[in-house]
């Protein structure tokens, strides 16, 4: 046991040294950048982070700020060769209580483009280096101020165009991703530790000996959990990104009229001539918490007109790419052969069939609207109903992007491999490799992966050699 204790200490030291080495290479310099938009405004903020941040700010205004406490603001005049450049306010954040975990200074100056860039260049002249895009947040991650998923949340929040996206971003910024992954990660860690100890320390009698029969149901449970997480994430992404929706129908049923009505804009040309729309017309609109990325298409029917046929081909290509098809029929006419063909063509797509031109609201058993009278609610309600599950998923905590989903899929694949191996009575030391792969993929979602971490987890749980 004493021997094991020595090994463990060495492993831990090694990991710490490597981390320190990496930290030294990454963070030996002080970085700066303009944090506000590259446009004229009342105020601009230039951020400085690193060991020299406070001394650079002190030199900028000719006042020693080194003994001032964090979370304080100091007035001064930024000077170049003793000539005043601008009056500034300097906010101090002392390590580790700052965004990056290092000493951070934010210089508030007047928001002209020239003056902001001038002060940035003075700061660079005093020894800071221009930051790479995202480098402040990268430092925050490497200094343990936030995990990778939280850092992605920062970016998502800045880019959020609407409430759904902003709400989801603020949740991930607050650590929702690591919170939802934690139970699964913990469970896996416990299993891996248990098996690893069974294999490496058979003489350690206090530890339960894990069996195939116990592990198999666990794998099934993990598969279920990961599948659910992937599904709700994809549903939530659908709502956040908007639903690619194609409007299809034979000529003159009112497709372009419907597009214009939904967009509240005369985007597509509308006439009573069949075959008015020849190309694709697009527009996005937010209805009932759902964003529709609408595509109006050429009316689909049999035609000898070469140009119209090209438009129809485009309509059918748009259908292939769309997540939702709104098939428009004419409520005043019998179903034509073209209508029937279209219904057959779209039957395997997610679709809503709607009868337009029901101006007197006489159809009862079918979904009918009248664009002419702006009676569109039945269609809007149906869209909401079709996307009920997705709307619910968008309100819950999920993963947030394709990178995270990709890693969840990797984890799923590895758990599935472990399950197959268990079913084939494979030795547990081989099953262990699959479980470790799953563990790493899950941890990579929040940027925590690393063999050293796994060893640390195992050793801290079992306290072997103590
Ligand atoms: N009565 C009535 N007419 C409508 C309604 N919606 C559209 N129309 C009319 O139907 C005609 C065709 O409308 P469009 O929107 O151009 O039809 P479309 O399906 O885009 O036709 P193509 O582009 O030729 O495929 C126009 O005269 C519209 O004013 C409706 O709800 N009721
Ligand atoms: Mg049209």
Which atom of ligand 1 has the smallest separation from the CA of 369? Answer: 31
Ordered DSSP codes for 227-280: HHHHHHHHHHHHHHH-EEEEEE-STTSSHHHHHHHHHTS--S---SSTT---S-
Give yes or no for residue 440 having a pLDDT over 80.
yes
Q: pLDDT tens-digit profile of 292-350? A: 999 999 988 888 888 888 888 888 999 999 999 999 999 999 999 999 999 999 999 99
368: Cβ below 6 Å to ligand 1?
A: no
SS3 at position 10: helix
How far is ligand 1, taken at its centre, from the CA of residue 300, in Å? 14
Backbone angles phi, psi at 161, to 5 degrees: -100, -15
Ligand 1 centroid – CA 336 distance (Å): 17
Average pLDDT over every residue of 206-226: 92
Examine the pLDDT at 243 and tell me if it is beyond 80: yes
For residue 133, the model assigns a pLDDT of 85
pLDDT tens digits for 404-436? 999 999 999 999 999 999 999 999 999 999 999
Q: Is the Cβ atom of 276 under 6 angstroms away from ligand 1?
A: yes
In terms of pLDDT, which residue wins out, 463 or 292?
292
User: What values do phi and psi take at 394, rounded to 5?
Assistant: -65, -20
- pLDDT at residue 12 in the model: 39
Question: Separation of 386 CA from ligand 1 center, angstroms?
Answer: 25
Q: How far is the CA of 271 from the centre of ligand 2 (A)?
A: 8
Task: Indicate yes or no: pTM above 0.85.
Answer: no
Q: Is the CB of 249 under 6 A from ligand 1?
A: yes
Select from 252, 276, 377 the residue to mutate for testing ligand 1; criterion: most ligand atoms less than 8 Å from CB. Answer: 252
pLDDT at 398: 93
Percent of the chain scoring above 90 in pLDDT: 65
269 CA closest ligand 1 atom index: 16
Q: How many residues does the chain have?
A: 466
- DSSP secondary structure, 17-57, as one string: HHHHHHHHHHHSS-EEEE-S-SS--SEEEEEEESTTHHHHH
Helix boundaries (H) for 402-427: 402-423
| Ligand sitting nearest the alpha carbon of 356 | 1
Comparing 10-14, 190-194, 447-451, which segment has the lowest mean pLDDT? 10-14
Return phi, psi of residue 91, to 5°.
-95, 130
**Distance from the CA of 266 to the center of ligand 1, in angstroms?**
13
Provide the pLDDT confidence category of residue 463 given band limits of 50, 70 and 90: very low
Residue of 270, 302, 330 to test ligand 1 pocket, by largest number of atoms within 8 Å of CB: 270
State the DSSP H helix or E strand holding residue 329, giving kind and residue range, or none if neither.
strand 324-330
Task: Indicate the average pLDDT of the chain.
Answer: 88
pLDDT of 433 reads 95
CA of 126 to the centre of ligand 2 (A): 63
Residues in a beta bridge with 49: 31, 104
Task: Report CA(196)–ligand 2 centroid distance (Å).
Answer: 66
Structural domains in the chain?
29-145 (3.30.1360.120), 179-466 (3.40.50.300)
Contacts of 30 (CB under 8 A, 6+ apart): 48, 49, 50, 51, 52, 53, 56, 127, 128, 129
Residue 148: pLDDT band (50, 70, 90) is confident
Residue 153 CB less than 6 A away from ligand 1: no
203 lines ligand 1 (CB under 6 A): no
Residue 184 has a pLDDT of: 94
Pocket perturbation via mutation, ligand 1, pick of 254, 271, 295, 378 by most ligand atoms within 8 A of CB: 254
pLDDT digits (tens, 9 = 90+) for 155-172: 888 888 888 888 888 888
CB atoms within 10 A of CB 222: 24
pLDDT exceeds 70 at position 204: yes
Express each pLDDT in 38-66 by its tens digit: 888 899 999 999 999 999 999 999 999 99
- Residue of 247, 248, 256, 257 with the most ligand 1 atoms within 8 Å of its CB, for mutation: 257
268/156: higher pLDDT: 268
* Ligand 2 centroid distance, CA of 436 (Å): 56
Instruction: Answer whether 371 contacts ligand 1 (Cβ < 6 A).
Output: yes
Position 85 scores a pLDDT of 95
């Amino acid at each position: 046991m004493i021997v094991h204790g020595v090994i463990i200490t060495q492993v831990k030291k090694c990991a710490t040294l490597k981390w320190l080495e990496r930290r030294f290479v990454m963070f030996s310099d002080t970085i700066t950048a303009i944090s506000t938009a590259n446009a004229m405004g009342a105020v601009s903020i230039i951020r400085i982070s690193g060991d020299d941040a406070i001394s650079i700010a002190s030199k900028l205004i000719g006042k020693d700020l080194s003994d001032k406490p964090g979370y304080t603001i100091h007035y001064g005049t930024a000077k170049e060769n003793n000539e005043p450049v601008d009056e500034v306010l300097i906010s101090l954040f002392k390590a580790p209580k700052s965004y990056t975990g290092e000493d951070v200074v934010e210089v508030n100056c007047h928001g002209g483009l020239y003056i902001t860039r001038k002060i940035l260049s003075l700061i660079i002249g005093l020894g800071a280096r221009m930051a790479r895009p995202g480098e402040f947040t990268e430092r925050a991650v490497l200094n343990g101020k936030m995990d990778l998923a939280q850092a992605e949340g920062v970016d998502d929040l800045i880019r959020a165009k609407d409430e759904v996206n902003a709400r989801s971003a603020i949740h991930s910024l607050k650590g929702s991703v690591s919170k939802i992954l934690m139970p699964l990660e913990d469970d896996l860690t416990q299993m891996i530790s248990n098996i690893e100890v069974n294999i490496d320390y058979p003489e350690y009698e206090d530890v339960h000996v894990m069996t195939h029969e116990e592990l198999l149901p666990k794998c099934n449970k993990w598969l279920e959990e990961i599948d659910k997480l992937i599904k709700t994430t994809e549903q939530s992404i659908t709502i956040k990104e908007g639903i690619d929706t194609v409007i299809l129908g034979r000529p003159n049923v009112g497709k372009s009229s419907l597009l214009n009505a939904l967009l509240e804009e005369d985007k597509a040309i509308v006439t009573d001539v069949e075959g008015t729309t020849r190309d694709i017309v697009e527009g996005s609109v937010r209805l009932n918490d759902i964003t529709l990325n609408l595509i109006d298409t050429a009316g689909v029917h049999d035609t000898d007109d070469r140009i119209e046929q090209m438009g129809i081909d485009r309509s059918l290509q748009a259908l292939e790419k769309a997540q939702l098809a709104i098939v428009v029929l004419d409520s005043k006419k019998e179903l034509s052969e073209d209508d029937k063909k279209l219904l057959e063509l779209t039957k395997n797509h997610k679709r809503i069939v709607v009868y337009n031109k029901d101006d007197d609201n006489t159809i009862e058993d079918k979904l009918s609207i009248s664009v002419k009278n702006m009676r569109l609610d039945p269609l809007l309600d149906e869209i909401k109903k079709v996307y009920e599950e997705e709307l619910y998923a968008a309100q819950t905590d999920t993963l947030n992007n394709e990178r995270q989903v990709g890693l969840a899929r990797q984890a799923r694949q590895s758990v599935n491999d472990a399950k197959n191996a268990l079913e084939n009575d494979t030795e547990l030391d081989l099953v262990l490799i699959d479980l470790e792969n799953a563990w790493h993929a899950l941890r990579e979602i929040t940027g925590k992966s690393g063999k050293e971490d796994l060893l640390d987890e195992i050793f801290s749980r079992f306290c072997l050699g103590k």
